[in-house]
């Protein structure tokens, strides 16, 4: 009697983020994207379900047409089924509903018009699921998507029942959820093809097993090109699948074919992502404790509780990294303005580019620590807001607004000039947390802090939670040369004040008038005042220090963190240079820089800011910007006052 047939769906996702370096794109095309399609095209009996992010597809269409022409041929012949998604690869849970629908519509339309594809399924960015997405997807014409099998195990679905899609709904709108196999994700493309088929054969007769993962592991990630192509792993795997199909016990299918089979049952899954992402989203102390617990349970789990022990949802990154939260809140605010302006297409396209996910989180990859990715998103946000202002007839407006612009529970003060605007946060010591240049298309104080991460700490008898070969970089707790790591305890922008050796990272009192904002801090001995005024070319900042008791002698240090914006280039090699009108943080090829011009009594120094961030190649020093420190020596008589001044100017 012939062996009952198992089904296998091969789902692969390809993506490169908005703002990525040209050299990276070309390297990935040469090492991964082209050879992958060439190899699978030689095995037409093995069907695939593929997803390409819109930002990657557009680049390939313009720069590597041989890839997209081959892709189109495979779609037309039926070997490849295409998945839709958000056009610019946003985490759908992080953006407004109107943008979710618009991004999916743009992507689906592009696939139909350019590739003659009719997508019914969707690739869920970073496999971040929210229950309400069932309604979003259903209303966008999406029938099915893929999440990790661990997300179903965590709500009590037995492993032996993970043999097909499950149906979920939100307010009666339904979508099918296919569970992607964790075991296959770890085996492909590292295990021997026979081991992969043996894992599939363990499944129940008639059942479906879904492999779904990033396509870059087929040649772009470290060591994978040699494994997949030079050593022939992909060729051998495809031949093995064909052999199993000839034997009759296996049938490779596309997700669309699998979706035609009745779902296994109903399920409701809470906010989730893949296991590693949910660990990364935790605050560092909690992450360390969870990693320890997971390592112990993987060795021995007599009660079978491991599937129910999970980390934080993706939104944990918004609490973990204030710089990411500020970017996301700015995106939400600009999205609202674009909608108010009637959603003009140029503004919508720029907004969607600013919603690309990669700079909104950090795990094994650089993510939020990659300055060129983060600043690229700010550039697209500035462009979107400028286009919306033009549609609303408010371009070039000046004025002052007060409101909680970042949803932190405190009001900020926004000072608008013809050059852009600055956001002052009284609760953060009167710092500038945004300095937007319309002409430079940049937020010139968008510097990522140096956060302490789990991989900076010594191991505690266990490895990192990342079990995949490609997710286990070498980790080191110190920088090269044995220097100790330095970490920031809070978000730092510009105009951070240090008086008498004490950083004043605490709420300031403030008063707003027609020209700007006055802020002050005081204790029993001293009072510091800071006045920020809008000028035609930037901001004029005046400081004064007074003594309440006796003569006082000390110093005031004002820190200004900035990173130049050089599109398409790594943010390194920047330095503080003196010009005829002040000090400028410059970098070759920079589109936008910040000029800091203090009065003659000040001493100016600069410090390069490096964050030690995890990458697939290990922990690397990642350039974040320059800390400009303006120091005034001060002597104040009893009841007297000292004054100093500096100007901040956005420049091209």
What percent of the chain stands above pLDDT 90?
A: 81
DSSP state letter for 70: H
At 369-379, the pLDDT tens digits run: 999 999 999 99
330 falls within a domain? no
pLDDT at residue 531, rounded to an integer: 98
Q: Quick check: helix, strand or coil at residue 542? A: strand
Compute the mean pLDDT over every residue in the chain, rounded to the nearest whole number.
Answer: 93
Strands (DSSP E) contained in 163-239 are 166-170, 173-180, 208-214
Instruction: Single out the residue in 222, 242, 273 at which a domain terminates.
Output: 273
pLDDT at 133 over 80: yes
Percentage of the chain lying above the pLDDT 70 cut:
95
> Is residue 553 a part of any domain in this protein?
yes
Position 622 pLDDT exceeds 90: no
Confidence band of 573 (pLDDT split at 50, 70, 90):
low
- C-alpha radius of gyration, the chain, whole number: 27
> Are 491 and 636 in the same domain?
yes
Is the pLDDT assigned to residue 486 strictly greater than 90?
no
> Domain of 63: which CATH number?
3.20.110.20
Question: Does 482 have pLDDT greater than 50?
Answer: no
pLDDT at position 475 over 90: no
Q: Is residue 207 part of a domain?
A: yes
Are residues 1 and 203 in contact, defined by beta-carbon separation less than 8 angstroms?
A: no
pLDDT at residue 575 tops 70: yes
Residue 364: pLDDT over 60: yes
Say if 388 falls within a structural domain: no
> Which of 209-223, 345-359, 388-402 is predicted with the least confidence, judged by mean pLDDT?
388-402
The phi-psi region of residue 552 (left if phi > 0; otherwise alpha if psi is between -120 and 50; otherwise beta) is beta
Residue-level pLDDT at 155: 97
Question: Is 404 found in the same domain as 265?
Answer: no
Inform me whether the pLDDT recorded for 479 exceeds 60.
no
Q: Cα separation of 81 and 11, whole Å?
A: 9
pLDDT for the residue 470: 43
- Give the tens place of pLDDT for each residue, 528-548: 999 999 999 999 999 999 998
Pairing of strands 48-52, 80-82: parallel
- pLDDT tens digit sequence for 604-619: 999 999 888 887 777 8
What is the crossing angle of helices 34-41 and 65-77, to 10°? 30
Report whether pLDDT(477) > 90. Answer: no
Q: Which of 389-398, 413-422, 562-571 has the lowest mean pLDDT?
A: 562-571
pLDDT tens-place string over residues 152-194: 999 999 999 999 999 999 999 999 999 999 999 999 999 999 9
- CATH number of the domain that 490 lies in? 2.70.98.10
Q: Which residue has the higher pLDDT, 590 or 210?
A: 210
Q: pLDDT confidence of 484, banded at 50, 70, 90?
A: low
pLDDT greater than 90 at residue 639:
no
Q: Which tens digits make up the pLDDT trace of 73-107? A: 999 999 999 999 999 999 999 999 999 999 999 99
CB atoms within 10 A of CB 650: 25
Q: Number of structural domains, the chain? A: 2
pLDDT at 318 over 60: yes
Provide the pLDDT confidence category of residue 420 given band limits of 50, 70 and 90: very high
| Domain limit, last residue, from 273, 288, 323 | 273
Residues known to be catalytic: 126, 214
CA separation for the pair 503, 538 (Å, rounded) = 25
What tens digit of pLDDT does each residue of 215-241 get? Answer: 999 999 999 999 999 999 999 999 999
In a domain, 476, yes or no: no
- pLDDT of 568 > 60? The answer is yes
Single pTM value for the model: 0.95
Give the pLDDT band (50/70/90) at residue 478: very low
DSSP H or E stretch at residue 81: strand 80-82
pLDDT over 60 (residue 33) = yes
Average pLDDT over residues 284-295: 95
**Residues 225 and 216 sit within 8 Å (Cβ to Cβ):** no
Decide if pLDDT at 569 tops 90.
no
The verdict on 269 and 403 lying in the same domain is no
- Co-location of 97 and 233 in the same domain: yes
Characterize 379-408 residue by residue with b for buried, 16 or more Cβ atoms within 10 angstroms of its Cβ, and e for exposed.
bbbbbbbbbbbebeeeeeeeebeeeebbeb
What is the residue range of 76's domain?
6-273
The answer to whether residue 387 sits within a structural domain is no
Same domain, 238 and 100: yes
Tell me the C-alpha distance between 621 and 611, whole Å.
6
Residue 69, Cβ neighbours under 10 Å: how many? 12
The answer to whether residue 99 sits within a structural domain is yes
Residue 360 belongs to some domain of the structure: no
- Burial status of residue 414 (CB atoms within 10 A of its CB: 0-12, 13-18, 19 or more): middle
């Amino acid at each position: 009697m012939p062996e009952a047939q198992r089904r296998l769906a091969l789902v692969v996702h390809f993506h490169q983020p908005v703002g990525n370096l040209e050299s990276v794109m070309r390297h990935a095309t040469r090492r991964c994207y082209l050879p992958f399609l060439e190899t699978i095209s030689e095995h037409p009996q093995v069907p695939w379900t593929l997803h390409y992010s819109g930002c990657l597809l557009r680049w390939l269409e313009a720069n590597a047409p041989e890839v997209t022409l081959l892709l189109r041929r495979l779609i037309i012949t039926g070997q490849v089924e295409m998945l839709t998604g958000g056009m610019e690869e946003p985490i759908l849970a992080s953006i407004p509903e109107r943008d979710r629908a618009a991004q999916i519509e743009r992507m689906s339309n592009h696939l139909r018009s350019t590739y003659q594809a009719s997508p019914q399924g969707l690739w869920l960015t970073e496999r971040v699921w929210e229950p309400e997405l069932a309604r979003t997807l259903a209303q966008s014409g999406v029938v099915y998507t893929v999440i990790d099998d661990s997300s179903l195990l965590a709500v009590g679905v037995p492993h032996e029942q993970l043999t097909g899609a499950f149906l979920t709904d939100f307010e009666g709108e339904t979508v099918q959820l296919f569970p992607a196999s964790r075991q296959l994700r770890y085996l492909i493309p590292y295990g021997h093809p026979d081991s992969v088929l043996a894992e599939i054969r363990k499944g129940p007769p008639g059942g479906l097993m879904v492999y779904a993962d990033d396509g870059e592991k087929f040649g772009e990630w470290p060591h994978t090109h040699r494994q997949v192509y030079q050593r022939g792993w992909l060729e051998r795997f495809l031949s093995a699948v064909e052999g199993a199909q000839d034997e009759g016990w296996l049938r490779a299918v596309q997700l669309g074919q699998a979706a035609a089979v009745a779902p296994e049952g109903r399920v409701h899954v809470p906010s989730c992502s893949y296991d590693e992402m949910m660990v990364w989203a935790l605050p560092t102390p909690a992450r360390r404790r969870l990693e320890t617990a997971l390592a112990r349970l993987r060795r021995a789990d007599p009660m079978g509780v491991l599937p129910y022990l999970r980390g934080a949802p993706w939104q944990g990154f918004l609490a973990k990294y204030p710089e990411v939260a500020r970017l996301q809140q700015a995106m939400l605010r600009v999205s609202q303005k674009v909608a108010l302006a009637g959603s003009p297409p140029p503004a919508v396209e720029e907004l969607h580019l600013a919603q690309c996910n990669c700079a909104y989180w950090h795990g094994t990859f650089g993510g939020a620590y990659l300055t060129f990715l983060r600043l690229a998103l700010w550039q697209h946000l500035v462009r979107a807001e400028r286009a919306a202002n033009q549609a609303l007839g408010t371009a070039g407006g000046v004025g002052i607004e007060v409101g909680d612009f970042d949803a932190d529970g405190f009001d900020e003060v926004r000072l608008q000039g013809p050059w852009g605007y600055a956001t002052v946060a009284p609760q953060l010591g009167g710092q500038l947390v945004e300095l937007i240049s319309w002409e430079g298309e940049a937020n010139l104080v968008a510097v990522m802090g140096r956060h302490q991460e789990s991989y900076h700490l010594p191991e505690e008898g266990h490895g990192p939670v990342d079990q995949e070969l490609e997710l286990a970089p070498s980790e080191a707790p110190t920088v090269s040369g044995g220097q100790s790591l330095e970490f920031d305890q809070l978000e730092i922008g510009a105009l951070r004040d240090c008086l008498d050796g004490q950083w004043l990272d605490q709420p300031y009192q403030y008063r707003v008038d027609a020209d700007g904002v006055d802020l002050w801090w005081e204790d029993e001995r001293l009072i510091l005042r800071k006045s920020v005024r809008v000028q035609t070319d930037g901001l004029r900042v005046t400081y004064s220090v007074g003594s309440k008791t006796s003569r006082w002698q000390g110093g005031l240090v004002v820190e200004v963190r900035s990173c130049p914006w050089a599109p398409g280039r790594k943010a390194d090699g920047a330095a503080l240079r003196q010009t005829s009108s002040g000090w400028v943080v410059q970098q070759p090829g920079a589109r936008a820089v910040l000029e800091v011009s203090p009065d003659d009594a000040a001493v100016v120094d600069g410090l390069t800011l490096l964050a030690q961030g995890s990458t697939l190649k290990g922990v690397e020093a990642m350039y974040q910007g320059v800390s400009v420190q303006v120091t005034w020596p001060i002597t104040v008589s009893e009841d007297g006052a000292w004054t100093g001044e500096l100007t901040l100017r956005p420049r091209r």
